[in-house]
């Protein structure tokens, strides 16, 4: 039994998800459950040979996936009837313009069978790969990951699972978390206002490709400008905060994060006049102001950001020789692949940075600033670089976000966004990119996928099965309004963070350095004891 | 002209006048030691030379070029390298990575590799443990590592701040043996020590500090023979 415990745990987590979505989700969750089981058992297996590892994982993977399937079964036969849908409803496949008629029971049977079969096969494959030599394994891993990530949106579209919008949001936040990881994880500078750089990237995009001030630049140019603007903002924020450490730095970044949305909210009538020469740079009204020259926007004060109304619509990316409407609000696929590409690009750059001289300098500054300066590391330059490099990637994310949503509002970039990004980094494991990505998937997946689904199910359930039986009108109102997990999302994140800090402070997938650091105290203790004994 | 010259430096910590006009010089190839009681300003002198604290008055010069106007990391590039008090190795890096960090300001890969071998031959213990995390080393090994890391920067003047602090007597001997070995190889060293007896044994010359001022300077031999030094710092009465 001991041997199957991990598989059962993984299966239970999978079951929790299939319990919410049922049907086709079992194939997707089965694949993931299989992959994690294969990874786990392949790594801990005592057997050396690839085939032996694969054979060994078969049974645990089967058990895990059957448990996963139980969730889907419960969904189909318990959750669905309770929420008021009939047991058997239409759930057709969408193949381009055509539709393949299927009902929910058929979908359940196919999903369950295919989910378990694919799950076990994937587990065997992943375990098999673990037995291969290092270089082959790496390539094979990346290849299978790419196949999965390429297949995902098509599967989503065909089955009508409708996860893609949430997945794109998750990707945006992963991009942000990767950037913040540079500042917090690598350089050790606590930044509580990271959303500000996200906002700067988004607003740069908004201004440079929208009717707001009549500039329509190409997205492929704007995204670089947005990244550069964010990087510059990183320098501007970094410069005055350099002498500060720890808590003080965190407070300044917190302030910066609060200021930026307020600035964007209030840039609605901009006028810049040089008082002595009366040269007007921006936004003068020739009838009212006495100005000698007017350089730009001379029909009265300039509305730069439209305040709370936000900038709308923002231009979409276009690729030469393809349909002009390739990137539209109706199709998600191009967006998915665009942000996917941005993430891959960012991972590549961040890896290079981390292993370069700059990466080592960040590490040294994080560990011991005095010692670092005695190695000839310039603390000023190093910290500024960390701030502006981290900001660069949020500039990418901001540009993508602005163009994808096609509208931006100051309220999107408030403090809670900074905190959620920070949570992803901490939950996943400071300083480890794989950990940060997993943290991002978990937190944003919960936020954008699982909680809303729970909310919908719960609402239907209340309406269909509970509210009719409640006669007290006050209680009825209370139940109708208050049972909404969406309202509790921040409380849930807070709770998760507290539990993590107690149980596993280094994060789910910690970097080796961080792990060493957190256990250093214990070892030093042991050292002191042995030295005292000697 | 001597290699490193400190001219009449005054250093303050806010309002506290820590160094009240210290002047000293170090010639090429010499070991010079600063001895004195706690709070006499020994470490502050080293910190002022290495740029971690700035003097309000006075000058520090290397071969006549001013150092006190440069930021700390530029002073390191000039070849003034301090092995800080309390070791301060990078605990989450391995021994060899720590040594590589010491050569951060250098670009000559081949020479760095040679220097790495030199450090390993000086401290065979570090070679044995080169893949171990520095945080898991004992105090003595960490001191070796910190010294080795300093040497990796090719110092023209090596500033050693309390290398024997908190070490068992056997290890203190080992550290001082190493200092003598470095001396033989021609490294210029400015040594700050609480352990005046050991320091005066290895040094060529010494300065005695007392509440921010130099009260005595002489050859190490004469200082050892000096009655007041014996009384105050060597525990001979």
* pLDDT number for residue A531: 41
Interface test with chain A among B72, B95, B132, B161, by most A beta carbons within 10 Å: B72
* pLDDT number for residue B119: 92
The percentage of residues in chain B with a pLDDT greater than 70, rounded to a whole number, is 99
* pLDDT number for residue A345: 93
Q: Could A524 and B82 be called an inter-chain contact, meaning their C-beta atoms sit closer than 8 Å?
A: no
* pLDDT number for residue B127: 93
As given in the structure block, the two tokens for residue B167 are 């070490």
Residue A375: which of B71, B105, B138 has the nearest Cβ?
Answer: B105
Decide if pLDDT at A224 tops 90: yes
Decide if pLDDT at A534 tops 60: no
pLDDT in tens, A441-485: 999 998 899 999 998 888 888 888 887 788 888 888 888 787 788
Q: Could B168 and A534 be called an inter-chain contact, meaning their C-beta atoms sit closer than 8 Å?
A: yes
Residue B88: which of A360, A371, A523 has the nearest Cβ?
Answer: A371
Residues of B with CB below 8 A from A371's CB?
Answer: 84, 88-90
pLDDT in tens, A345-372: 999 999 999 989 899 999 999 988 889 9
The residue of chain A nearest to residue B106, with distances taken between CA atoms, is: A376
Determine contact: B168 vs chain A, CB below 8 A: yes
* pLDDT number for residue B70: 93
Q: Could A534 and B73 be called an inter-chain contact, meaning their C-beta atoms sit closer than 8 Å?
A: no
Decide if pLDDT at A340 tops 90: yes
Own/partner pairs, A89-93, CB within 8 angstroms, 24+ separation: A91/A23, A91/A160, A92/A160, A93/A158, A93/A159, A93/A160
Q: Could B88 and A524 be called an inter-chain contact, meaning their C-beta atoms sit closer than 8 Å?
A: no
pLDDT in tens, A134-154: 888 889 989 999 999 999 999
pLDDT in tens, A85-134: 887 777 888 877 778 888 888 889 999 999 999 999 999 999 888 888 88
Q: Could B88 and A370 be called an inter-chain contact, meaning their C-beta atoms sit closer than 8 Å?
A: yes
* pLDDT number for residue A323: 78
Task: Tell me the CA distances in angstroms from B184 to A53, B121, B181, one per residue in order.
Answer: 59, 15, 5
Determine contact: B93 vs chain A, CB below 8 A: yes
Note whether ipTM > 0.95 here.
no
Q: Could A376 and B104 be called an inter-chain contact, meaning their C-beta atoms sit closer than 8 Å?
A: yes
The residues near B32 (Cβ < 8 Å, ≥ 6 apart) are B24, B26, B189, B190, B191, B203, B204, B205, B206, B207
The percentage of residues in chain A with a pLDDT greater than 90, rounded to a whole number, is 38
Decide if pLDDT at A241 tops 70: yes
**DSSP at A302:** B
Minimal CA separation from B230 to chain A, in Å: 31
Residues of A with CB below 8 A from B140's CB?
Answer: none
Q: Could A367 and B91 be called an inter-chain contact, meaning their C-beta atoms sit closer than 8 Å?
A: yes
CA–CA distance, B108 with B116 (Å, rounded to integer): 12
Confidence label for A528 from pLDDT (cuts 50, 70 and 90): very low
Mean pLDDT of chain A: 86
Minimal CA separation from B101 to chain A, in Å: 7
Interface test with chain A among B46, B104, B159, by most A beta carbons within 10 Å: B104
Q: Could B89 and A371 be called an inter-chain contact, meaning their C-beta atoms sit closer than 8 Å?
A: yes
CA–CA distance, B181 with B136 (Å, rounded to integer): 26
As given in the structure block, the two tokens for residue A366 are 């994080």
The residue of chain B nearest to residue A515, with distances taken between CA atoms, is: B92
* pLDDT number for residue B150: 93
Q: Could A370 and B133 be called an inter-chain contact, meaning their C-beta atoms sit closer than 8 Å?
A: no
Decide if pLDDT at A532 tops 70: no
Let me know: does B132 contact B94? Beta carbons within 8 Å. yes
CA–CA distance, B85 with B80 (Å, rounded to integer): 15
Confidence label for A513 from pLDDT (cuts 50, 70 and 90): low
Minimal CA separation from B198 to chain A, in Å: 22
pLDDT in tens, A398-423: 999 999 999 999 999 989 899 999 98
Residues of A with CB below 8 A from B73's CB?
Answer: 373, 375-379
Confidence label for A524 from pLDDT (cuts 50, 70 and 90): very low
CA triplet A199, A202, A205: central angle to 5 degrees?
A: 145
* pLDDT number for residue B81: 93
**DSSP at A423:** H
Confidence label for B12 from pLDDT (cuts 50, 70 and 90): very high
Q: What is the pTM of this model?
A: 0.88
The residue of chain A nearest to residue B153, with distances taken between CA atoms, is: A375
Minimal CA separation from B157 to chain A, in Å: 13
Q: Could A516 and B133 be called an inter-chain contact, meaning their C-beta atoms sit closer than 8 Å?
A: yes
B window 114-153, beta carbon within 8 A of A: 133, 135-136, 138-139, 149-150, 153
Determine contact: B6 vs chain A, CB below 8 A: no
* pLDDT number for residue A175: 95
Q: Could A376 and B153 be called an inter-chain contact, meaning their C-beta atoms sit closer than 8 Å?
A: yes
pLDDT in tens, B142-159: 999 999 999 999 999 999
Residue A523: which of B76, B101, B136 has the nearest Cβ?
Answer: B136
Confidence label for A516 from pLDDT (cuts 50, 70 and 90): low
Decide if pLDDT at B99 tops 60: yes
pLDDT in tens, A310-336: 888 888 888 888 777 788 877 888 999
Interface test with chain B among A374, A510, A517, A518, by most B beta carbons within 10 Å: A374
DSSP per-residue letters across chain B: --SEEEEEEEEEETTEEEEEEEEEEE-TT-EEEEEE-TTSSHHHHHHHHTTSS--SEEEEEETTEE-TTS-HHHHHHTTEEEE-TT----TTSBHHHHHHHHTTT---HHHHHHHHHHHHHH-HHHHHTTTSBGGGS-HHHHHHHHHHHHHTT--SEEEEE-TTTT--HHHHHHHHHHHHHHHHTT-EEEEEES-HHHHHHH-SEEEEEETTEEEEEEEHHHHHH-HHHIIIII---
* pLDDT number for residue A515: 67
Mean pLDDT of chain B: 90
Minimal CA separation from B223 to chain A, in Å: 31
* pLDDT number for residue A48: 77
Interface test with chain A among B71, B87, B91, by most A beta carbons within 10 Å: B91
pLDDT in tens, A13-54: 999 999 998 888 999 999 999 999 988 888 887 777 888 888
B window 12-71, beta carbon within 8 A of A: 50, 52, 71
Helical axes A25-44 vs A134-159, angle rounded to 10°: 170
Decide if pLDDT at A296 tops 90: no
Q: Could B104 and A378 be called an inter-chain contact, meaning their C-beta atoms sit closer than 8 Å?
A: no
Q: Please state the domain extents for chain A.
A: 2-161, 168-268+303-517, 269-302
pLDDT in tens, B63-97: 999 999 999 999 999 999 999 988 899 988 899 99
From chain A, which residues contact B within 8 Å (Cβ)?
Answer: 357, 360-361, 363-364, 367-368, 370-371, 373-380, 512-514, 516-517, 520, 523-524, 527, 531, 534
What are residue B24's DSSP bridge partners?
A: B6
* pLDDT number for residue B170: 87
Q: Could A371 and B84 be called an inter-chain contact, meaning their C-beta atoms sit closer than 8 Å?
A: yes
């Amino acid at each position: 039994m001991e041997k199957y415990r991990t598989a059962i745990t993984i299966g239970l987590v999978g079951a929790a998800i299939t319990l919410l979505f049922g049907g086709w989700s079992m194939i997707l969750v089965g694949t993931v459950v299989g992959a994690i089981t294969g990874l786990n058992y392949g790594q801990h297996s005592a057997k050396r040979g690839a085939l032996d590892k694969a054979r060994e994982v078969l049974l645990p993977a089967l058990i895990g996936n059957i448990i996963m399937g139980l969730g889907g079964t419960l969904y189909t036969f318990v959750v669905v009837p309770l929420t008021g849908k009939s047991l058997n409803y239409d759930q057709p496949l969408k193949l381009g313009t055509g539709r393949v008629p299927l009902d929910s029971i058929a979908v359940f049977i196919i999903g369950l069978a295919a989910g378990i079969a694919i799950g076990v096969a994937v587990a065997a494959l992943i375990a098999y790969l673990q037995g291969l030599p290092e270089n082959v394994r790496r390539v094979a891993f990346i290849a299978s990951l790419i196949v999965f990530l390429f297949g995902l949106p098509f599967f989503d579209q065909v089955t009508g699972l409708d996860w893609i919008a949430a997945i794109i949001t998750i990707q945006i936040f992963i991009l942000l978390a990767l950037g913040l990881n540079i500042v917090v994880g690598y350089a050790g500078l606590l930044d509580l206002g990271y959303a500000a750089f996200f906002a700067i990237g988004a607003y740069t995009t908004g201004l440079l490709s929208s009717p707001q001030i009549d500039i329509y630049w190409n997205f492929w140019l704007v995204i670089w400008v947005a990244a550069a603007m964010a990087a510059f903002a990183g320098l501007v924020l970094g410069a005055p905060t350099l002498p500060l450490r720890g808590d003080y730095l965190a407070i300044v970044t917190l302030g910066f994060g609060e200021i930026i949305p307020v600035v964007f909210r209030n840039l609605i009538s901009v006028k810049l006049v040089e008082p002595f020469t009366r040269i007007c740079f921006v936004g003068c009204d020739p009838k009212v102001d006495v100005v000698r020259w007017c350089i730009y926007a001379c029909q009265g004060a300039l509305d730069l950001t439209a305040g709370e109304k936000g900038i709308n619509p923002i231009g979409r990316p276009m690729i030469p020789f393809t349909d002009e409407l390739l990137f539209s609000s109706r199709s998600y696929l191009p967006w998915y692949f665009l942000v996917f590409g941005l993430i891959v690009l960012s991972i590549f750059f961040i890896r290079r940075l981390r292993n370069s001289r700059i990466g080592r300098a960040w590490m040294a500054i994080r560990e011991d600033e005095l010692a670092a300066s005695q190695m000839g590391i310039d603390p000023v330059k190093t910290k500024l670089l960390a701030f502006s490099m981290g900001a660069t990637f949020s500039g990418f994310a901001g540009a993508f976000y602005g163009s994808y949503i096609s509208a931006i509002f100051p309220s999107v970039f408030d403090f809670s966004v900074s905190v959620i990004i920070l949570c992803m980094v901490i939950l996943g494991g400071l300083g480890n990119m794989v950990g940060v990505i997993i943290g991002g998937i978990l937190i944003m997946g919960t936020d954008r996928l699982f909680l809303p689904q729970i909310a919908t199910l719960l609402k239907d359930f209340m309406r269909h099965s509970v509210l009719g039986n409640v006669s007290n009108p006050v209680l009825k109102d209370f139940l109708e309004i208050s049972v909404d997990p969406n309202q509790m999302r921040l409380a849930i994140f807070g709770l998760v963070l507290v539990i993590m800090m107690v149980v596993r402070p280094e994060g789910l997938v910690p970097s080796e350095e961080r792990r060493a650091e957190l256990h250093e105290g214990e070892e030093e203790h042991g050292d002191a004891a042995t030295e005292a004994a000697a | 002209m001597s290699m490193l010259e400190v001219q009449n430096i005054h250093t303050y910590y806010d309002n506290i006048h820590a160094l009240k006009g210290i002047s000293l010089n170090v010639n090429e190839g010499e070991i010079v030691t600063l001895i004195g009681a706690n709070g006499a300003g020994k470490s502050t002198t080293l910190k002022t030379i290495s740029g971690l604290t700035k003097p309000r008055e006075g000058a520090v010069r290397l071969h006549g070029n001013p150092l006190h106007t440069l930021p700390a990391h530029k002073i390191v590039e000039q070849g003034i390298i301090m092995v800080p008090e309390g070791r301060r190795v990078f605990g989450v890096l391995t021994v060899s990575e720590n040594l590589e960090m010491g050569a951060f300001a250098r670009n000559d890969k081949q020479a760095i590799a040679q220097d790495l071998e030199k450090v390993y031959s000086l401290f065979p213990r570090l070679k044995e443990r080169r893949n171990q995390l520095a945080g898991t080393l004992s105090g003595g090994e960490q001191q070796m590592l910190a010294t080795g890391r300093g040497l990796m920067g090719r110092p023209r003047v090596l500033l050693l701040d309390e290398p024997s602090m908190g070490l068992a007597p056997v290890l203190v001997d080992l550290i001082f043996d190493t200092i003598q070995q470095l001396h033989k190889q021609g490294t210029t060293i400015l040594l700050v020590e609480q352990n005046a007896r050991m320091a005066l044994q290895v040094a060529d010359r010494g300065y005695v500090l007392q509440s921010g001022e130099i009260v005595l300077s002489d050859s190490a031999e004469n200082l050892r023979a000096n009655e007041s030094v014996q009384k105050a710092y060597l525990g001979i009465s």
